[in-house]
């Protein structure tokens, strides 16, 4: 039920005024009559009593006057209150009409109360709807924050460098890999211009230019290889090759609002690819050399150029040695592949390293004598007795042969090679047998020592000293560490010599009894 306080009821207001005026007039009449009777005027009408005599008459008169004034004031105040209530009702309902209050004053107040209650109910529903929207907004904010944390965690965990900039080339986000690559603190670098974070060097300028070009072209994704020189080590500045993918980010209105750059370091892949190419070229040459010798000598035999038996034997010897060389090369390639794939068959049993070394020394002595290289072999009776390892005899023999042959190849004439074997008890929580081969050869540069066991790797400075495929030492590492759970080691000084060796766990009593 709604009351229209804009409708004016003039009759009720007039009746109200008449009623108040009548009350005042009657009050004054009663007061005057009382005073008149008390004064004794008029015969037969004197009914004065002690109550209305003297000063008491004036008191009664004053009370009547005061009561009349009070009634008038109360009526005026009530009208003012009703007008105020009507004004409030007009403001609540939004009405601009001005007029009387419809019914009595209590009716107006009741109507206002009902109107206020209705308005409060309406506001309560509106407030409930707003609270629901606020809760939904809070849930959306929490989901957005959680998604942002997940996104940040993903970006920060990526090993590749990730950089996100806005449309003004200010950094929005970067991960640790990007900070390491461009040498800035990725945690405190947000909202800084990308020019301040990445120094404009000749190489890094290529990345910044590529970033801006991609943003201006508004392309979805652009890929390019860029090169950056890593100058963290002043003496050994290294060029890094990066596969850079840049994508523009668009908002809901399809406006470009930033750029995301992902930089993947492909330096190692490029090096491996180059090493494989070098390996294929070198192996092709290595295969071609023995095949050419075999072909040439067999053709000479077929053409009858070997007239006597001695010449034929020499031709046969060359063909046989080149065939063995070819076979060794192919075996190295196959063995490396088999070990890496886990397909090679391993026959382990307790063997003595000292005895294996003696056997392989007999094979390498003639080669060392040709170069006038002295072989030093200290006595090791204890090693013969206690130096038993649980290993594949043929594989470990191949390891020893590779180390000895490399020592002879890279040692100049008149040099020496020393082979030592020792037992190390409680070495890194286990007992091991250690074999080391020390030569007085050309040595290895310090920055290349860590790569000598890599597949296809050959020391650049020593390529002229001897030929090879770069597979021998890698095969040694694969056999010792992957097949026998041992360890290889190397130390070298350029121009002084090198020490290569390996360690194998000693065969325990339980293993030897089972064997």
pLDDT digits (tens, 9 = 90+) for 80-114: 666 666 666 665 555 544 443 344 445 556 666 67
Determine the average pLDDT of the residues in 139-145.
89
In the prediction, which pLDDT does 91 show?
57
What pTM did the predictor assign? 0.48
In the prediction, which pLDDT does 436 show?
93
Determine the average pLDDT of the residues in 150-162.
83
Domain limits of the chain?
Answer: 1-156, 158-265, 272-341, 348-514
Asked if the model's pLDDT at residue 197 lies above 70, the reply is yes
In the prediction, which pLDDT does 104 show?
45
In the prediction, which pLDDT does 10 show?
40
Ramachandran class of 470: left when φ > 0, alpha when ψ lies in -120 to 50, beta otherwise: left
The alpha carbon of 59 is separated from its chain's Cα centroid by a whole number of angstroms, namely 98
Q: Considering only the top CATH level, what class is 272-341?
A: mainly alpha
Asked if the model's pLDDT at residue 346 lies above 70, the reply is yes
Question: Which residues are within 8 A (CB) of 421 and not within 5 positions of it... i.e. 6 or more apart?
Answer: 353, 354, 357, 380, 383, 387, 433, 434, 435
Q: Name the CATH code of domain 348-514 (choices 3.40.50.720, 3.40.50.1000, 3.30.70.100, 3.30.565.10).
A: 3.30.565.10
In the prediction, which pLDDT does 112 show?
63
In the prediction, which pLDDT does 510 show?
47
CATH superfamily label, 158-265: PAS domain (3.30.450.20)
What is the three-state SS of 432-486? EEEEEEEECCCCCCHHHHHHCCCCCCCCHHHCCCCCCCCCHHHHHHHHHHHHCCC
Query: Tens of pLDDT along 270-293?
Result: 888 887 787 777 777 777 878 888
In the prediction, which pLDDT does 231 show?
62
């Amino acid at each position: 039920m709604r009351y229209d306080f804009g409708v004016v009821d003039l009759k009720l207001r007039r009746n109200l005024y008449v009623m108040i005026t009548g009350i005042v007039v009657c009050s004054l009449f009663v007061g005057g009559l009382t005073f008149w009777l008390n004064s004794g005027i008029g015969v037969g009408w004197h009914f004065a009593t002690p109550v209305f005599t003297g000063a008491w008459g004036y008191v009664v008169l004053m009370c009547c006057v005061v009561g009349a004034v009070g009634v008038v004031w109360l009526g005026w105040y009530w009208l003012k209150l009703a007008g105020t209530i009507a004004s409030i009702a007009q403001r609540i309902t939004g009405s601009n009409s001005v007029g009387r209050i419809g019914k009595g004053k209590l009716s107006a107040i009741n109507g206002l109360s009902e109107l206020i209650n209705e308005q409060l109910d309406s506001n309560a529903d509106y407030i409930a709807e707003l609270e629901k929207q606020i809760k939904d907004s809070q849930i959306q904010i929490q989901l957005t924050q959680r998604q942002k944390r997940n996104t940040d965690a993903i970006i920060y965990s990526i090993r590749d460098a990730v950089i996100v900039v806005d449309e003004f080339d200010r950094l929005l986000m970067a991960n640790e890999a990007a900070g390491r690559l461009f040498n800035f603190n990725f945690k405190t670098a947000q909202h800084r211009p990308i020019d301040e974070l990445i120094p404009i060097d000749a190489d890094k300028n290529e990345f910044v230019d590529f970033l801006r070009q991609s943003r201006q072209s508004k392309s979805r994704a652009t890929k390019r290889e860029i090169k950056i020189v890593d100058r963290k080590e002043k003496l050994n500045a290294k060029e890094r090759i990066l596969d850079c993918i840049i994508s523009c980010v668009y908002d809901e209105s399809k406006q470009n609002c930033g750029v995301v750059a992902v930089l993947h370091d492909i330096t190692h892949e490029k090096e491996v690819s180059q090493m494989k190419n070098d390996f294929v070229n070198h192996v092709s040459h290595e295969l071609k050399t023995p095949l050419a010798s075999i072909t040439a000598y067999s053709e000479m035999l077929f053409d009858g150029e070997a007239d006597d038996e001695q010449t034929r034997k020499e031709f046969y010897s060359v063909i046989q040695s080149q065939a063995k060389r070819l076979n060794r090369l192919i075996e190295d390639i196959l063995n490396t592949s088999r070990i890496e794939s886990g397909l090679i068959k391993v026959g382990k049993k307790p063997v003595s390293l000292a005895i294996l070394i003696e056997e392989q020394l007999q094979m390498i002595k003639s080669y060392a004598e040709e170069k006038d290289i002295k072989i030093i072999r200290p006595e090791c009776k204890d090693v013969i007795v206690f130096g038993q390892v649980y290993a594949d005899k043929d594989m470990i023999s191949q390891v020893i042969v590779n180390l000895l042959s490399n020592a002879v190849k890279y040692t100049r004439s008149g040099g020496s090679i020393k082979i030592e074997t020792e037992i190390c008890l409680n070495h890194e929580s286990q007992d091991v047998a250690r074999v080391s081969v020390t030569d007085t050869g050309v040595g290895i540069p310090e920055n290349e020592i860590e790569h000598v066991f890599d597949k296809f790797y050959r020391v650049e400075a020593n390529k002229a000293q001897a030929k090879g495929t770069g597979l021998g030492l890698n095969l040694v590492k694969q056999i010792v560490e992957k097949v026998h759970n041992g360890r290889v080691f190397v130390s070298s000084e350029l121009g002084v010599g090198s020490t290569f060796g390996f360690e194998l766990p000693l065969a325990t009593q339980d293993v030897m009894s089972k064997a």
